[in-house]
Amino acid sequence: MLNFIYGRAATGKTYETLTRIKNAVNKGERVIFIVPEQYSFESERNVLSLLGDKDAHKVLVYSFSSLADTLTSLSGGKARKVLSDADKILFMNKALLLLKDELYLWRRYFSSAGFASKVVDMIGEFKISAVFPEDLEKTAEQLKPSFLKEKIEALALIYRTYDAILKGRFIDPADKLEKLYNDLTFNKYFENSTVFIDGFKGFTGQQYRIIDAILAQSNSLTVTALCEMDGDEAKEIYHNTYEAVKNIKDIALRHRVKIGEEIYLSKPFYETKAMEKVEGVLSGNLGGTFKENENIGFLVAKTPEDEVAFTARNIRRLVREKGYRYRDFVIIARNSEKYETAIERQFKDYDISCFFDKRIPLTFSPLFAFVDSALSCTMLINNEEFFRFLKTGLATDLTTEEISELENYAYLWNINSIGFEKEWDMDPTGFSETKSEKEDEIKETLSRLNALREKAIAPLVNMRRFYGSTVKEKAYAVAKLFEFSKTDEKMKMLLSFMEKDFSSEDMDAFRQSWDLFMSLLDGMVRCFGDDVVSDIQFKEMLTISCQTTTVGRIPQMLDEVTFGAADRIRPSRPKVAFILGANQGEFPKSPDNNSILGNSERNTLIKAGLKVRNKTLFLTMEENLLVYSCSCCPSQMLFVCCSQTGADGSANEPSILFESLRNSFVNAKVYYEPSDELLMENLPETENSAMQTLYRFFSLDKKGASTLIDATLKTDRQREEFKNIINSKQIYNRKLSSDKAKKLYGNNIPMSATRFDTFFGCHFRFFCKYGLNTSIIQPAKLDVMQRGTIVHYVLEQFCNNHIDDIESVTREQIITETAKYITDYFASIKGSETLFDERFTFLVEKIGEAIIEVLERIVEEFSQSKFRVEKCEVSIGNDGTIPTVIFPFGKDGKLSLYGSIDRLDRWGSFIRIVDYKTGSKTFKLSDTLYGLNMQMLLYLYCVIRGENPDCKGKNPAGILYLPSKRDLNKTGLAMNGIICANSDVVEAMESENAGKFIPKYKINKDGSPSKSNTSFIPEEAFDTIFDHIENLAKKLGEDLHGGQISAVPLESGDYSACKYCDYKTVCLKREDIEPTKVETLKNDEVFAKMRGEEESEV
């Protein structure tokens, strides 16, 4: 007899089933109870609670899968290994490779493990739908010649080949129910039994075959169905359930089994009116609007993280205020992975125990990273993969510092491939002239680096000895890698380190990874053995296997919140539910069909009689039922949450679930997260969450921050920590204590012109670079900096060697000497010969051509100029030509200026300083008010006001920037800077005053200098600039000792301290804070400000 118990959500279908089970047991009947896998534990508990210890064992509770295992153990036979998901992909990959010469369709994908995974899914769908190879073959015969016909024929052949490989040795889990059906033909397991099936929303083709056997053998079968049966019109939401009922009745009719009771339970049992009406709205039985404003709430959050924060806070509040237990709550998301990280973080802050069936792919384990990077390096060692290999901690005993030292050197010299196996002899200091006095130190460093390199490369060298062409040989090589590196011991050591910072669940997952990984290698050998595969194929097979193999964690506590994905979770009548992600396209989820067969092809196959599903239709109906069952599962209270933006920042809209309930419950509370105000409903529930809220409110200057400070910061230590964190975020007022600053910098602070500019450009950048001494590694390549170094070196050598005859040097001499100096430069750099590939040689030649043009220009200029080269690369400080210049500040502080002048020219008593620039450089006097563009002026100050006796009584002629960009026109090559507005000085620099070598000096009709001469200033103005330099130096020293490290950068025209800053990621500079912009002023306004005057005439 076949009986049905119909009913909507929460109408008591399971309770009615359990009551009938009890009656059957009391009558002495043999009872079998079949439920979904996720319900098995809960169902066993319910049976125990109903029947007690004495009679509970009389009810056999199964899922379809566990029923198959039971029948297998009863029927005996040869034990076969059950394939994992990874094993299935490997065996399918083997089947495809066997057919590569026989099948044309998809042939180019046959070596791809990714394609094998798609075929596994397709064949798996056929199996659970009870579609066999012969069914596919018969269907193909009915089809007209077409691409679909080719597909079905190919799939039938692949299906047969795959099964043939497994036959007798392995069993695909998708075949378990088929084997169960076959066993049931011999073992009449259901004879004289009363069978109940509860909790299913629908059945697969295989499950229908089992139901077929049950109806043929049992005394009676009772099935529960989630649907309505009291109206004339079928409701779309129950489409799949109606279809299941029809199919089961057809099976009963075929076996001539009488259909007995069909009970319809019409009244839902909820503990609150709100939940009764939620069910009514979603089932389509209630319309209109409702006044209820309790036990249902809606959240509009900014982000998914905010959804979780709201959920955690309210769970904690409800436990505290209303006495709920954590096990009374369920959190449901359609895409649970999207929320997992936020759940872990927020629930830790709120001290809530939460269980979710988080499965972590093996690809996330250090062991996979270790092997994957080793296999990459076996094919071709590259910098990234090699150091990924070392950083796993499973390869060698090298420390983090030693690995970093190797990585820095490899990055510096761009070492790849066989470069790791050759002895390193390049200068560890990089692309710079190797000083003779440092050769011993360099040799010692290279010796240590090479010893570390050999130790790092040893596991890979050893692995290559065993790495053959077959799968077996490659897997053996991986095992030898484990042995050589003592990976098992290193994993134990990592576990001991994990004890402090990782949860026991994470440690369990780490432990599982070793056994699972070794099992995968065994599976690959079992499947392919001596088959020859390429290195890429082997690596891809291993990667796909690890992606489909997951490690999980076990629930730790009885009283836990349950969190899970809507399609996997089976909540046991919780009291409160939170639905996360109620957004369009997310929940309900938009149906997608990524299988080999498209929807139109499926419809054609259905018409041809093949038992496949119209996937889009089926998934749409399944999704609607999923939304209904999840939303109606709590007995008391429901919160529906949506977010305005996704994790990637994309805009979201509420889903039909959110909108339909919101439009029905017009008086229900709508919450917004995060809130701009501190209210009773969003008060933090724990100390950690209070601190998080405090930081947010304080940084955004929200109301309630002072209340939180009083409630949260109870000790002096807490207040000090809060002050430090807040100060670190207030970039305008960021400061060190004076004591710390003095200890960091000392009283005698060395100061170069570059450091001077850096400090005034951005205090925080100066602190990072010169206070903390952090800097990025400059790789040995011809970037802008290195090109500038080469240009400086050649110009210095040329000018020094032609001080007396520079105006008469020929083009041939320039070409010859340029080539010589460039050769000398690279010869002075240890290891530079390794850089000279075709591209590098071309770049060097181009630099040489640019230098030749600049030198010709210099020769031409000196042929008409009265100024002569006095000296090149003039050192300031450090026992150089010009003594250190001291700027005193504060009580006992002093700045000691040092540097190097590119070129110093003299004419009579006048001194000018020339600086070589490889890029464009325009001097703006306005910048100097803010401390920018001070390099050349500082050098001129040192020459004129310094203690060098040779320069006593000399007069400033100016500062000039010599551009070396060869693509500028004749006018563009004129030097720029500031020049003394003395007609004799101007004439000494350029006799014809044509603006060819320096800017043109314009004279008014009355003989006075034109105000358009912005590059020319009166001689006395240099004293104003020098006084300004002394004031700036004093301010710089006082600010350093005052602990000033604020990240407030300067901007001047195209210049921005942030543009190429290496410290962007640590400065916390918010984009809404505008940098200080340098005001563009006329020269007389600049000098007036330097003198502290409102107006001035120069």
Q: What is the DSSP string of 298-316?
A: EEEESSHHHHHHHHHHHHH
Same domain as 130, residue 145: yes
**Gap between the Cα atoms of 818 and 823, Å rounded:** 9
Provide CB contacts within 8 A for 671, sequence distance 6+. Answer: 297, 298, 299, 300, 310, 681, 682
Instruction: Give the mean pLDDT of the chain.
Output: 84
The confidence score (pLDDT) of residue 505 equals 66
Burial class (CB in 10 A: 0-12, 13-18, 19+), 429: middle
427 shares a domain with 396: yes
Residues 976-999 have pLDDT tens digits of: 889 999 999 999 999 888 888 888
Question: What per-residue confidence (pLDDT) applies to 568?
Answer: 81
Q: Is residue 847 part of a domain?
A: no
Share of the chain above pLDDT 90, in %: 36
For residues 341 and 404, membership in a common domain is answered with: no
- In this predicted structure, which of 345-354, 432-441, 453-462, 808-817 has the lowest mean pLDDT? 432-441
- Tokens at 70, concatenated: 């039971």
Question: What pLDDT score does 38 carry?
Answer: 79
Residue 856 lies in a domain: no
Higher pLDDT, 694 or 1006: 1006
Domain boundary among 138, 167, 196: 167
Structure tokens at 498: 């994990």
Domain match, 871 and 971 both? yes
How far apart are alpha carbons 241 and 625 in whole angstroms? 9
pLDDT digit string, tens, across residues 328-366: 999 999 988 889 888 888 888 888 888 776 777 888 888
- pLDDT tens by residue, 1023-1063: 999 999 999 999 999 999 999 888 878 887 767 777 778 88
Q: Judging by DSSP bridges, how do beta strands 59-62 and 30-34 pair with one another?
A: parallel
Q: CB–CB of 67/39 below 8 Å?
A: no
Is residue 841 situated within a structural domain?
no
DSSP state letter for 645: B
Q: Token pair for residue 397?
A: 């005993």
The Cα–Cα gap between 1091 and 445 comes to 53
Question: Span 645-658, mean pLDDT?
Answer: 86
Please say if the pLDDT value at position 719 is more than 50: yes
Q: Are residues 400 and 542 in the same domain?
A: yes
Q: Where is 193: in which H helix or E strand? A: strand 193-197
* Distance, CA of 982 to CA of 984 (rounded, Å): 5
pLDDT on residue 379 = 78
Contact in structure between 549 and 516 (CB atoms under 8 Å): yes
Look at phi and psi of residue 474 and say left if phi exceeds 0, alpha if psi is from -120 to 50, else beta.
alpha
Q: What are phi and psi of 919, to 5 degrees?
A: -110, -175
Residue ranges of E strands in 67-116 = 81-82
As given in the structure block, the two tokens for residue 1020 are 């006395």
Identify whether the C-beta of residue 983 lies closer than 8 Å to the C-beta of residue 1008. Answer: no
Q: Bridge-partner residues for 886, per DSSP? A: 896
How long a stretch of residues is the chain?
1098
Looking at residue 882, the DSSP 8-state letter turns out to be B
Q: Report if residue 485 sits inside a domain.
A: yes
665 DSSP assignment: B
- Say if 656 falls within a structural domain: yes
Quickly tell me which residue has 């005053």 as its tokens: 993
**Which position has the token pair 């004799």?**
984
The pLDDT tens digits of the residues spanning 480-518 come to 999 999 998 888 888 777 766 666 666 777 778 888 888
Residue 357: the pLDDT is 67
Query: What is the C-alpha to C-alpha distance for residues 760 and 763, in angstroms, rounded to an integer?
Result: 6
Burial of residue 450 (CB within 10 Å: 0-12, 13-18, 19+) is middle
SS3 content of the chain, % helix, strand, coil (to 5): 50, 15, 35
Joined together, the tokens standing for residue 183 give 């066993």
Buried b (16+ CB within 10 A) or exposed e, 66-84: ebbeebbeeeeeeebeebb
Residue 377 and residue 243 share a domain: no
Q: Which of 269, 287, 314 marks a domain boundary?
A: 269
Q: What gap in Å lies between CA 431 and CA 419, rounded to an integer?
A: 18
- Asked if the model's pLDDT at residue 776 lies above 50, the reply is yes
pLDDT digits (tens, 9 = 90+) for 594-636: 788 888 888 898 888 888 887 777 888 888 888 998 999 999 9
Q: Are residues 932 and 1045 in the same domain?
A: yes
Q: What is the pLDDT of residue 701?
A: 47
8 Å CB contact between 753 and 932? no
The sign of the torsion formed by the CA atoms of 471, 476, 479, 484 equals negative
- Read off the tokens for 447: 């010796």
Residue 822 domain-assigned (yes or no): no
Q: Same domain, yes or no, for 929 and 996?
A: yes
How far apart, in whole angstroms, are the C-alpha atoms of residue 201 and residue 841?
Answer: 72
pLDDT tops 80 at residue 916: yes
**Domain stop point among 529, 552, 575:** 552
User: Longest C-alpha distance within the chain, in Å?
Assistant: 129
Query: What is d(CA 672, CA 641) in angstroms, rounded to the nearest whole number?
Result: 10
Q: Which of 910, 917, 885, 916 is nearest to 899 (CA)?
A: 885
CATH of the domain at 59: 3.40.50.300
Q: Which domain holds residue 113?
A: 82-167
Sign of CA dihedral 675, 680, 686, 690: positive
Contacts for 972 with CB less than 8 Å, ≥ 6 apart: 963
- Cα 158 from Cα 97, distance rounded (Å): 10
Asked if residue 707 and residue 615 are part of one domain, the reply reads no
Give tens-digit pLDDT for 74-94: 776 556 778 888 888 888 888
Q: Is residue 1081 part of a domain?
A: yes
Residues 371 and 354 in one domain: no
All residues at 6 or more sequence positions from 555 whose CB lies less than 8 Å from its CB, including other chains: 355
**Region 180-194: what's the mean pLDDT?**
89
Q: Where are the beta strands (DSSP E) in 266-411?
A: 296-301, 329-333, 354-356, 359-361
Name the band, by pLDDT with cuts 50, 70 and 90, for residue 696: low
Q: Are 1004 and 1042 found together in one domain? A: yes
Q: Which long-range contacts (CB under 8 A, 24 or more apart) does 374-378 make?
A: 374/459, 374/460, 374/463, 374/478, 374/481, 375/478, 375/535, 375/538, 375/539, 375/542, 376/539, 377/460, 378/460, 378/463, 378/464, 378/467, 378/477, 378/535
User: In this structure, how many other beta carbons lie within 10 angstroms of the beta carbon of residue 531?
Assistant: 15
> With 90 as the cut, is the pLDDT of residue 371 above it?
yes
Domain count, the chain: 6
pTM: 0.73
* 3-class state of residue 660 by DSSP: helix
- Selection from 245, 257, 521 nearest residue 371 by Cα: 521
Structure confidence by residue, pLDDT tens digits, 510-556: 778 888 888 888 888 888 888 888 888 888 888 888 888 877 665 55
**What is the separation of C-alpha 844 from the centre of its chain, rounded to a whole number of angstroms?**
39
Residues 873 and 1003 in one domain: yes
Report strand pairing: 976-980 vs 910-917. unpaired
Residue 859 domain flag? no
367: domain CATH number is: 1.10.486.10
